Amino acid sequence: MNQIYRSVQGIGRRKTSIAKVNLQVGSGEIWINKKRASNYLQENPASLLAIQTPLQLFNLQTSYDTIIEVKGGGITGQTSAIQLGLARALYKLENSYKDVLREKNLLTRDSRIKERKKYGLKKARKAPQFSKR
């Protein structure tokens, strides 16, 4: 591994969430918006597991501290944005991780966002009820 870097940054996006992830050599703590990850994610085990997945692939949970700044969206979108940002930071840290991250689909941005509402419709696609008479 490249020990040249003091910290590595990765940016992840999902829906309307943007996460800036900093990886630093440390003891394995995860901080999101200056709160512990478990507190920020409301003790949700699925979200915590999703965030730790990129680190668990390479057994780096106790090697790096993760400091995350995230804004926009809800918990699900933020979790996915953090996961992508963390995977990108790991890829910057060590290029040989790319194949494994790509194989697990962690370097692919999920570009699905909410479709805008169109005029004459109630929502993006829902039309008012048709009346024949």
pLDDT in tens, 7-20: 899 999 999 999 99
Predicted pLDDT of residue 6? 76
Using CA atoms, how far residue 7 sits from 12, 83, 104, 133, in Å, is 17, 17, 24, 68
pLDDT in tens, 54-64: 999 999 999 99
Predicted pLDDT of residue 122? 96
Instruction: Tell me the average pLDDT across 43-51.
Output: 95
pLDDT in tens, 68-124: 999 999 999 999 999 999 999 999 999 999 999 999 999 999 999 999 999 999 999
Grade residue 5 by pLDDT with cuts at 50, 70 and 90. low
Q: 13 lies in a domain? A: yes
- Asked if 84 and 92 touch (Cβ cutoff 8 Å), the reply is no
What's the CA gap between 36 and 34, in Å, rounded? 7
Q: 131 lies in a domain? A: no
Mark 87-100 as b/e (b = at least 16 C-beta within 10 Å): bbbbbebeeebeeb
Q: 86 lies in a domain? A: yes
What is the domain range of residue 42? 7-103
Question: Is residue 3 pLDDT above 80, yes or no?
Answer: no
What's the one-letter identity of residue 56? Q
For the beta carbon of residue 85, count every other beta carbon within 10 angstroms: 29
Give the chain's domain count: 1
Question: Is residue 1 pLDDT above 70, yes or no?
Answer: no
Predicted pLDDT of residue 4? 54
Q: 127 lies in a domain? A: no
